[in-house]
Amino acid sequence: MTKEQVNARIQEIGIIPAIRLSSAADALFAAGAIMDSGIPILEVTMTVPGAIAVISELARSHPELVVGAGTVSDTEMARQCLDVGAKFLTTPGFDLAIVEFALKESTVVFPGALTPSEIIAAWKSGADFVKVFPCSVLGGPAYMRSLKSPFPQIPLIASGGVNQQNAAAYIHAGAVALGIGRDLIHADAIQHRERGWIRELSWRYLKMIREARALM
C-alpha cells in the first residue's frame, strides 16, 4: 500500500482507533474487534507492552489493514515500526526528526500539535496531517473550528477527549478524522472480552462521521 493510498484511506474512513492497553493479548483482542466492525485502520501505541510484535502480527495476518504506530518517540523506534509493517507514524508532540524520517521513507506521518505555532511548524515540516492533541483541553470542537479558520488548507485530526457526545461536532468543525482511544475501547470491554461492545461503538462512530459529513 502506497503512502498516497494510506493517506486517502485515513481521509475516507475518518476514524483512527488508538489501542493503548496493558498487554499484547489485550491489544490483539481489541484489534480483532475493530476489524470485525469494518474499520480498516488502527493505531498501536508504543506504550503497549510488546507493541512492535503486535504491529508485526497484525501486518502479517491482515495485509489489507492500515496499521500504524502511535506515541513514537524517536527515529530508532520509528524504524523498528516500519520494519515490521507499520503504515503510518504518529507522535503526541511535534518531533521534526521523526517527520523528516517518515518523509525519507515515504511514510504517512501526523505529529501532535496544539498551538497555532506548533501546527504551522508541523505542517511546514511536511506532515501529511496534523493531530491536534489534546484537543479537548482548549475547547474541543470550538477550538477545532477556530483553527480551521486561519488554516483551511491543513488537514487536522482531532485527538484527545473525542467521544460520542462531541464526535459529530468535531467533523462539523472541520476535522478530517478523529483519533479515539478509551472512548471506543473501554477497559471493561477488554477485561470481560466483550467483542460486541467494541463493535457496537465502532459502528456508532462510523455512522456519526458519515452523517456529519453528509450535512456539510
Which residues are identified as catalytic?
Answer: 43, 131
CA angle 207, 211, 216 (to 5 degrees): 150
Give the containing element (helix H, strand E) for 34.
Answer: helix 24-36
- Who contacts 180 (Cβ-Cβ below 8 Å, separation ≥6)? 15, 16, 17, 18, 159, 162, 163, 167, 205
Q: Counting beta carbons within 10 angstroms of the beta carbon of residue 83, is it exposed (0 to 12), middle (13 to 18) or buried (19 or more)?
A: exposed
Sign of CA dihedral 28, 62, 182, 111: positive
